[in-house]
Structure 1
């Protein structure tokens, strides 16, 4: 049996108490609605819990409220850690999600397309014959 991440219980609590803005974005990301990409919400990665993540595309989406103005150094350390683990980090202010959800979704969509895995190599001619 796979051991649980130490932050798993806290992540579950955050999922159960999500903000209005998180719920708004989640309505558009859940069930592979965006480019067929699976996203999870409130997922532990190392010592952090990210708002949304696609393991498949290696994309993290963070929603920032006013408290992030005071925590820029922490956010930078967090982003550096996530990037070191191969993730692309997209950050949006809460008001961006509320006032321009279509624009936010288009940025996420473009990132999903850009992070697409390369197509499989075709078999060389004569292979398997």
Structure 2
């Protein structure tokens, strides 16, 4: 069963949506002020679009098909929150048309969730 999830996550990484590709360009390689994000990452029985484990933050992108799955998405969100994660959901269209606003929300969430992974030394804080 575990191998099936690993293979599925790997497949999803290779077939990301346009919105996922765009957001990943900003999140990968600690580009968002040093925060490490993973894409198509397995947590419990779910494959998460993006997660910053350091901040306990999950970012999910929803396409049109999610309008029909709102109840199951809400259940998934509740289960992930019960595991200690904060879950942010964005529509693909929002990422594609207003990525700056999406990134601001994500940045505010990681900043409020945990200390930064690379804080400035005490003498260099402003």
Unaligned runs of 5+ in 2: 117-126
Q: Summarize deviations over 1:81-124 as a string: whole Å, max 9, x none.
A: 10011000000001100110000000001011101239xxxxxx
Does residue 1:61 correspond to 2:59, yes or no?
yes
Moved over 4 A (4+): none
**Which runs of 5 or more structure 1 residues have no equivalent in the other structure?**
119-129
Q: Which has the larger radius of gyration?
A: 1
With structure 2 as the length reference, what TM-score do the two structures score?
A: 0.87
TM-score by length of 1: 0.85
Of Structure 1 and Structure 2, the greater helix share is in 2
SS of match in other structure, 1:49: strand
* Pairing partner for 2:25 from 24, 27, 45: 27
1:5 shift after superposition: 5.9
Q: How many residues align?
A: 115
Tell me which residue corresponds to 2:106: 108
**CA-atom RMSD in angstroms:** 1.3
Question: Which of the pair has the greater relative contact order for Cα pairs under 8 Å at 6+ separation?
Answer: 2
